[in-house]
Structure formats: structure tokens, C-alpha cells
Amino acid sequence: MEEKANYCLNCPTKPCATGCPLGNDIPSFIKNIKERNYKKAYNILLKTTVLQSVCGRICPHMKQCRGKCVRGIKGEPVEIGELETFVGDMAIKNQWEINKLEEKDDKKIAIVGGGPAGLTAAAFLRRKGYNVTIYEKHNELGGLLSHGIPEFRLPRGILHNVIEKIINLGINVKYNCVLGKDITMEQLKKEYNAVLLTFGANISAKMGIEGEELKGVYGGNELLENNNHPDYNGKTVVVNGGGNTAMDTSRTINRMGAKKVYVVYRRAREQMPAEQKEIDDAIKEGVEFLFQNNIVKIIGDKYVEKIECIKTELIKVEGETRLKPVNIDGSNYEIPVDYVVMAVGAKPEEEVLETLDLKRNKWGYIETGENNKTSDEKVFCAGDISGQTSTVAWAARSGRNAAENIDKYLKKNCL
Ligand code: SF4
């Protein structure tokens, strides 16, 4: 690992850090790996993140820190993710704790949702001395990390250790507790000085095409979250989408014994939102990509039997940064398939949102100001549910920001 660290130039301008959503001080932690000051490297990372072993493994590094590394101009960029993973895993192995409380404060904060935003906010608020309780709808914490990212990308043992370390700061957790069903917002507001909402937006969006209601059409998020799959053995499956959910779903289904897995994406490979490494890995594992193709219809009598696709061409539209896919007339063709998985985006859980008396934006997310405030001054919001960029590091950053803003609010309003 030192060889990888020595490859870093420790640029004083820290271009890599500007690409990190969490603003990790990358040159400094790498410098300490070079000097074998591993615990100091961990403490530097702790200033901005508590998810080192997670982000080191699953962040789209080439779209973030690594993509900004100056080493990448003439060659390979520094392996920042591997170095962060190394430090995070070393902290787990050596049982290095997250640093202790700065002060003690009896004010109580409820956090709804125990995913990356909620866990990060909980850790940073607890380190400020507050009394923090997480309300989690599942019987385990992690959110998307436990229920959306497959084991082959994020080993569960590592994740459990990361979560345990955060909870060991002295954070209370109420499991199997659904907002609006097992506890209401009114109860939370009465019992706590502030409430932070961090439950994600994990309901698979639909395309609105004919046949989407047939049996055998699934949402990628739901398959991963509930880990409740049909039997894929000997079956042909098509996954529609180009993001990381499409990659995770197609690779998971492929590993579960499907005869053939296609990924249909309406733009070209270069425009895919998924990390290039994930696409490479999926191809290596046998997933077939149909770039510049669009599903226009799902055909079957009760059950899915085939899909109708159409080829697309990409055109430049003035004022838009991304090329627009346009269907090519007459290029339609059919593929026999057994299952169709939609991975074309996600939206918030309407049933929960309806129980909250909070202002929403035009896309249905909770309207959240710069300081994480909602339309209720006691209620804050962070992560996907506020409509933020949905990557783990951005969710964690949003959680950290919320912790800072709640701290300011409590110091000003709750003396
Ligand atoms: Fe090291 Fe690359 Fe960051 Fe420069 S940009 S400090 S070489 S990781």
C-alpha cells in the first residue's frame, strides 16, 4: 500500500479533495500513510467522514476525487479509494474508535432513517454531545448500504463493523419503526428538540410504457432492498437503465443463475451514469449491453414474454449538456425475455410523505433549504429525500451538513 501512497505527489492545491463530496483532506491522509502514521491518517479522515471503509469501496472515484487527480493527466490517477479503504479497514482491525464527544449536551435529536445520511448525521451530532436516537424501518441499519448494494461490492462484515463503531458512540436505535405508522411526526416533535429526516428515495420509477403492469416486471431498487428475487435459473432477464442500480441488479441476477442478462440503455456507453469499472465488471461477468436502444413495449399475456425495442441516435440539443436519444423509425425489433427489471431512477415513498405536513418541491421531494431546513422550523432534511445527488458520499455530506445546521439551530433556539 505504501507504493500506492508514494505515487501521490501531495499537491498543495489539493485538486483531488475538490472532487470529493465530503471534502476529505486526501493529500494529508495519504502523506501519513507514506510515513506509516496510519492512526493519524484515520484521524484526518474522521474530521470529514465516518464511512471510510464504505466510500473507499463503493464511491464512483473516477467521477469524484480520482477524476481530479493530476497523476491522471499523463497516466493512471492515484488509487485514492483503495488507500481510504486501507485506512478504514485498519481502524476496524485495530479497534480505533471514532473520537469522543467534544462536550455534553442533553438536547435530544431524532433521526428518521439509518442510511449513509442518517448514520453520518448521528455520528457528527453525537460527537457534539447531543442525545441522538435513530428510527429505522428495517431490523438493521445501513439503508441502501445494507439493502441496495450487493455483498460483492460491500462485504457485510465490513459494513457491520462500520455501523457498530458509529453506534458505539452512544447512539440509541429504534428498529422496525416506520414513520407515519409506528410513530408520528407529532410525537417526534414533542419528544425531541429537533427532527432530521434522512429516509431515502428508493421506490423504482416507471417508464410509463405498455405492458409495465405484467407479472415478471420488477423494480431494481425493490429487488435489491428486499432481496426477494424470482428464480432466475435458465431465464432471460432484461434490465433497463444505465446507473449503478442497473449495474448492481444485472450483476446480482447474473450471479443468481440467469441464462442471459441484458442491460438496455438508450444512450451510448460514454453517457452511462454508472461507474466505468462497474460496467467493465458487468461485461467481464457476461452481462450483455444494448447501448442506444430503448424499450418501447413489454409484451405478454399476464406474464412477460418479450420486449419490443427500438434503436436510437444521439442528437445535440442547444442549451443541453447531454446528447438526446431519439428513436430511429422502423428500427423496432423484439427479444424474448422472462423478466424485465426497471432501473430508470427512483422516487420518494409517497405513503410516508403523505403523513407529513411538509412542503414538497415540484419533483415530490421534501423542499429543503441550503441549511437543511424544511417548512417546519424544527424539522430538518438530508440525503436523497431532499432531492440531492444520490450517491453515498453526497448523502453522507448532506447528513454532516445537517448535523452542523441542527447544532447551530439548537444553540440559537433551545437554551
Ligand atoms: Fe495526490 Fe493526485 Fe491528490 Fe495530487 S491530485 S495530492 S497526486 S491524489
Model confidence pLDDT, tens digit, residues 235-284: 999 999 999 899 999 999 999 999 999 999 999 999 998 888 889 999 99
Query: Looking at the predicted structure, is the pLDDT value of residue 133 above 80?
Result: yes
Instruction: Specify the residue with its C-alpha closest to ligand 1, atom 4.
Output: 11
Distance from the alpha carbon of residue 223 to the mean position of ligand 1, in angstroms: 38
Give the burial class of 367: count Cβ atoms within 10 A of its Cβ; 0-12 exposed, 13-18 middle, 19 or more buried.
middle
- Find, among 223, 296, 220, 232, the residue nearest to 260 by Cα: 232
pLDDT of residue 204: 87
Query: What pLDDT is attached to residue 412?
Result: 87
Phi and psi at 330, nearest 5°, equal 80, 0
Residues 101-120: what's their mean pLDDT? Answer: 89
> Under a CB-based contact definition with an 8 Å cutoff, are residues 217 and 205 in contact?
no
Instruction: Write out residues with Cβ below 6 Å of ligand 1.
Output: 8-11, 15-16, 26-27, 30, 69-71, 78, 80
Taking the CA of residue 68 as reference, the ligand 1 atom at the shortest distance is 5
Greatest extent of the chain over all pairs of C-alpha atoms, in Å: 69
The ligand 1 atom nearest the CA atom of 15: 5
Predicted confidence at residue 201, as pLDDT, reads 80
Atom of ligand 1 nearest to the CA of 7: 7
User: Which residue out of 29, 68, 69 has the highest number of ligand 1 atoms within 8 Å of its CB and is therefore the one to mutate?
Assistant: 69
Residue with CA closest to ligand 1 atom 3:
16
* Nearest protein Cα to ligand 1, atom 2: 69
CA distance 58 to 153: 7
Q: For residue 64, give Cα distances in angstroms to 16, 56, 169, 386.
A: 8, 12, 29, 21
DSSP label at residue 288: E
Alpha carbon of 175 to ligand 1 centroid (Å):
41
**Ligand 1 atom with minimal separation from the 10 CA:** 6
CA–centroid distance, residue 94 to ligand 1 (Å): 27
CA of residue 48 to ligand 1 center, whole Å = 18
Q: What is the predicted pLDDT for the residue at 400?
A: 96
Query: What is the structure's pLDDT at 353?
Result: 86
Contact 381, 197 (CB under 8 A): yes
Q: Give pLDDT, residue 202.
A: 80
Whether the predicted pLDDT of 389 surpasses 70 = no
Looking at residue 73, the DSSP 8-state letter turns out to be H
Kindly report the protein residue whose alpha carbon is nearest to atom 1 of ligand 1.
8
pLDDT score recorded for residue 369: 83
Dist CA 227 CA 156 (whole Å) = 14
Please name the residues in contact with 93: beta carbons below 8 A apart, sequence gap of 6 or more. none
What is the tens place of the pLDDT at every residue in 170-201?
999 999 999 989 999 999 999 999 999 998 78
CB atoms within 10 A of CB 371: 13
pLDDT tens across 316-365, in order?
888 888 889 999 999 999 999 999 999 998 888 888 888 888 898 888 88
Q: Give the pLDDT mean for 398-414.
A: 92
State in Å: Cα 166 to ligand 1 middle: 29
C-beta atoms surrounding 85 within 10 Å? 20
pLDDT at 157 over 80: yes
Q: Which pLDDT score, from 0 to 100, does residue 239 have?
A: 97
Cα separations in angstroms, 310 against 246, 293, 295, 333:
19, 6, 6, 6
Distances (CA, A) of 298 to 330, 336, 340, 408: 17, 10, 8, 52
Q: For residue 363, count CB atoms less than 10 angstroms from its CB and return exposed for 0-12, middle for 13-18, buried for 19 or more.
A: exposed
70 Cα nearest atom in ligand 1: 5
d(CA 263, CA 246): 7
The more confident residue out of 347 and 169 is 169
Q: Does pLDDT of 142 surpass 90?
A: yes
Residue 315's pLDDT band (cuts 50, 70, 90): very high
CA distance 183 to 189: 11
> Where are any strands of DSSP class E within 25-149?
108-112, 131-135
Place of cell 495519504: 30
* Strand segments (E) across 119-278: 131-135, 172-174, 194-197, 203-204, 217-219, 236-240, 260-265
Report how far ligand 1's centroid is from the alpha carbon of 59 (Å).
17
Assess whether pLDDT exceeds 90 at residue 205.
no
Closest CA to 400 of 173, 196, 168: 196
pLDDT band, residue 313 (cuts 50/70/90): very high
Distance CA 34, CA 3 (A): 8
Q: 312 near 325, Cβ under 8 Å?
A: yes
pTM of the model: 0.88
Give me the residue label for grid cell 419490443: 308
The rounded mean pLDDT for the chain is: 92
Q: Taking Cα atoms as reference points, which of 167, 179, 111, 173 lies closest to residue 406?
A: 111
Is the per-residue pLDDT at 403 higher than 80? Answer: yes
Q: Provide the pLDDT confidence category of residue 225 given band limits of 50, 70 and 90.
A: confident
